[in-house]
Amino acid sequence: MDVEDFVQRGFNLSDKPKKSSHFQPDAQFGDVRSIIRLASGQSAMVAGHDCGGA
């Protein structure tokens, strides 16, 4: 089993897009799909996710 993690766009030291549309769910889901494809090229099970909180 492989385990991958990443910092979502706009958080920590990642890129910080200027348009709010880049933070919509479809854009974020696209990021996850890209990581899955790059890591394994197959499907994956997402075990946890956190958008943070204030």
For the stretch 32-43, pLDDT in tens is: 888 888 887 777
Averaged pLDDT of the chain: 78
What pLDDT, on a 0 to 100 scale, did the predictor assign at position 48? Answer: 67
- CA 13, distance to chain mean position in Å, is 14
Q: Are 43 and 36 in contact (CB under 8 A)?
A: yes
What pLDDT, on a 0 to 100 scale, did the predictor assign at position 27? Answer: 86
- pTM beyond cutoff 0.85: no
1 DSSP assignment: -
User: Residues 39-48: contacts with CB within 8 Å, 24+ apart?
Assistant: 39/2, 39/4, 40/2, 44/4
